[in-house]
A and B are shown apart, each in its own frame.
Chain A
Amino acid sequence: MNAIVATVLKRLGLGVVTLFVVSIIISLAIEMLPGDFAKSMLGQAATPETVAALRKDIGLDRPLAVRYFDWISGVVRGDFGYSLAGAGSLGGSRRPVADLIKPRLANTLFLAAVTAIIAVPLALILGMLGALYRNSLFDRIVNVVTLTSISSPEFFVAYILMLFLAIKLPIFHSLANVSPDTPFFERLGRIALPSLTLVLVIIAHMMRMTRAAIINLLGSPYIEMARLKGISPARIIYHHALPNAWAPIANVIAINLAYLIVGVVVVEVVFTYPGIGQLMVDAVSKRDLPVVQGCALIFAGTYILLNLIADIVSIVTNPRLLHPR
């Protein structure tokens, strides 16, 4: 058990360092992009004087190092700063980055959770059934369908679903524009199509991994022994093969869950879902550095945490890793 605690602590420590490095890279990257917040806000109407006045007002005239230090010392104290869109006299009511991110992150997590609740068990079951009846008609159909849906770009899947399930057959909403006061069940109905799109996009990866990992084990001597003992095939897979296949499956699930949180901006845009991906894209296109930083830290943190959990799962389910010699 000590090994796990040590690993977790070490990984968390490294995670903090990673976040710090990410924040520096993001600052430099935004600085290297052409234009800045003042110019993007004024658009074509920008004149040198108005740009200079706006820069001064929101503190963009200070050197990057000073701005970065200001920001990072706030973050250490748990203050993520203010969006440039609300800074200085421009915003009047300033918009704290945390307040901007909170409802968006909640929306993203809600969509990710609903999708995961459907997709993960479905992928595991399909994967196990695929292994059980491998090369049967069922196996082939499941493979073809899931591989087709993962091979199509997600916006295409989204448009197809929208065409058939929102326009030809008006069952679902084509817009998923929920607001904080949308009741829970309406919210579920609103996100049905985005969620279905994401299920189709992620299911193949997890299902194929489950199937491959189990098939891999089915050739090993202890499974043959179990079979000779007369245990039913379903029980062999569920009881004897699956526990040993957890490590690769957990890793794939972690990657897909992380994707659901950080990578669904295309689906958000197509369904006009106010998630965190759209927030970050808006912020990048307007060069709103504090918001970009906030989103980037959340995204990086998501990856670090989910990977850590996946690794812990593989250690816990594998006695050889749990008790290293």
Chain B
Amino acid sequence: MTELQYWTNQIKEGRISRREFMGRAAALGVTTALATTMLSQAGIGAEPKKGGSAKFGLAHGATTDTMDPGNYLDTGTSVPFWGAMSNSLTEVDAKGNIVGDLAETMEPSSDTKQWVFSLRKGLTFHNGKDVTANDVVASFRHHMGKDSKSAAKSLLESVSDIKADGKERAVFTLAGPNADFPYLVSDYHIPIMPAKEDGTADWDSKVRTGAFVFESWEPGIRAKLKRNPNYHKSGMPHFDDVEFLSITDVVARNNALISGEVHWIGRPDLKTLSLLKRNPEVAITEVTGYGHYVFAMNVTTPPFNNVDVRTALKWAINREDIAKKVFLGHAAPGNDNPIAPTVKYAIDPQPKYVYDPEKAKFHLKKAGLSTLKVDLSAADAAFNGCVDAAVLYREHAKAAGIEINVVREPNDGYWDNAWLKKPWCAGYWNGRPTIDWMVTTVYAKGAAWNETHWDNARFNELLVAARGETDDKKRVSMYAEIQQLIHDDGGVIVLVFYNYVEAATKKLAHGDIAPNYPADGLKIAERWWFA
């Protein structure tokens, strides 16, 4: 295979961006014109083309799905009704940076306790009504307050007040400083919706601001949307209309793509992925996201209250082996740092935990133990392949004199009965685009989902300090220390960062794929086009 062919394949599989490809091609002495032709032959058009009806096969969707954004549970609702139909104030771009979406500018006060978001000029909802600061206030209040039933409630707990300043400016007052606040408002639970006269958000009207306008929806079956001619992003969207089908059976999803019933599917069958790759009509995309699978120890219960026991367990697992055997290579081994390498300020803490039974034995001895017997609660409800991973871990740990008893918990009700309750149990995190957001949610003292019950004074102090720090240099060192503390002292074993594996027909084309969520940051309908 020639060098150029190799890079063409890389871009087809979404591993490099268009810009990178052009750079590589230029370095090989290929003219821009030729490179562009090669790209369009590879299904990567130079300029996005308009038109066409695209069909997407989603792995989620149930008849109980609701239009209330506070209760968007999975891609069954978040891809059509947030990614395609709505906008938040900000969005995470394909590089993981935060950029304004409905907000044109976002200005913090000097202590970052107050944030002012100014809306773009001339924004309208699908029904023609202007988007004003009042709508922003109503959309946020929808998730806040005592009676909130929203999944975004804890996210917005730090917002103490929000008010409209004129028609275009929304002013957020925070309980404490937060330099990363624009990231929080990019969450898919918080689209901007029109306000009703009584000041509540009118989510049921299905009127939003997004690239596509609501047409029809049968919960758990399909959602149909058509192009918004007045969309605020110029030249977008590219499709005329889009249809999202819920195909929860993985084989049916694969078949739907192969037989041409849909143009794209989420979560193809990994076990048969190499067969799917052979299909000349199909392109696989794969990005390592922020999401990761964990085995979380409760550090307040023995024996996990001893840091040497925790360290021994961290050395006793062969993550490479698990990534290869259980996740078939579609995952990157973790290093007990819950921050993905693509997140800003992420570090790879040293020493890197690799499989080393001798070191595990050493730490076990330091804890005053010669053998160790522990229960590990696992269920495939936590993540697919969880039980297999736990059983492999048991075999790895034997060499270090650690006996892990894998307790298979029932899938049904796993989150109620095992997670946060059993001393050592499996879990998953979709990850967050900032360090502060991720660790505040899971590792800070008193956080609702602090699955390790970890309470490290230095960590908690640093976390608050870093949140309000605007000096980038200081933040770098603070966040490095925060990650190092979790790595050294925390109770979490980060197994792997999993990849978002998706498959599409080569008729579709796209730019860089965002790592923050599956389906190109959930915005596949807005960002992709027919080649």
Contact = CB atoms under 8 A, between A and B. Distances in A.
Contact of B64 (A44, A47, A83, A269): A83
Contact of B66 (A91, A285, A291): A91
Given A45-B151, A54-B149, A177-B221, A34 B413 contact: yes
Contacts, number: 141
Interface of B: 62-68, 71, 73-74, 146-151, 153-154, 203-204, 218-222, 245-249, 251-252, 255-256, 258-262, 410, 412-413, 415-417, 428, 448-449
A41 B71 contact: yes
A174 interface: yes
Interface stretch (A165-173, A207-215, A250-258, A301-309): A165-173
Interface stretch (A198-206, A238-246, A276-284): A276-284
Contacts of A92: 67-68, 203-204
Contacts of B262: 175
B149 A43 contact: no
Contact of B247 (A167, A170, A175): A175
B413 A271 contact: no
Contacts of A44: 415, 428, 449
B327 to A, nearest CB: 20
A47 B261 contact: no
Pairs A-B, 7 closest by C-beta atoms: A34-B413, A92-B204, A45-B151, A85-B64, A54-B149, A286-B64, A174-B255
13 contacts: A34-B410, A41-B71, A43-B415, A44-B428, A46-B151, A47-B154, A53-B146, A57-B149, A163-B255, A174-B256, A179-B218, A271-B252, A285-B62
Nearest to B419: A44
A33 interface: yes
Given A166-B259, A177-B221, A50 B153 contact: yes
Contact of B149 (A53, A84, A272, A288): A53
B220 A282 contact: yes
B259 A85 contact: no
Contacts of B246: 272
Contacts of B67: 92
Which secondary structure dominates where chain B touches chain A?
loop
A234 interface: no
Nearest to A92: B204
B531 to A, nearest CB: 22
Interface residues of A, number: 52
A48 B449 CA distance: 11
Contacts of A56: 147
Given A84-B64, A282-B63, 6 more contacts: A46-B415, A56-B147, A83-B64, A179-B221, A272-B245, A282-B62
B448 A272 contact: no
A269 B73 contact: no
Interface in A175-222: 175, 177, 179
Nearest to B427: A44
A93 B71 contact: no
Contacts of A163: 255
A162 B251 CA distance: 10
A291 B148 CA distance: 25
A83 B220 CA distance: 14
A175 B218 contact: no
B255 A90 contact: no
A41 to B, nearest CB: 6
B63 A85 contact: yes
A300 B416 CA distance: 31
A269 B61 CA distance: 12
B255 A100 contact: no
A44 B68 CA distance: 17
A288 B259 contact: no
Interface in A31-62: 33-35, 38-39, 41-50, 53-54, 56-57
Contact of A41 (B73, B148, B204, B222): B73
B252 A272 contact: yes
Interface string A88-110: 00111100000010000000000
B422 to A, nearest CB: 14
B412 A43 contact: no
A100 B63 contact: yes
A63 B350 CA distance: 54
Contacts of A84: 64
B64 A53 contact: no
A71 interface: no
A53 B148 contact: yes
A272 B256 CA distance: 10
Given A177-B222, A272-B249, A282 B64 contact: yes
Contacts of A53: 146-149
A43 B62 contact: no
B252 A90 contact: no
Contacts of A272: 245-249, 252, 256
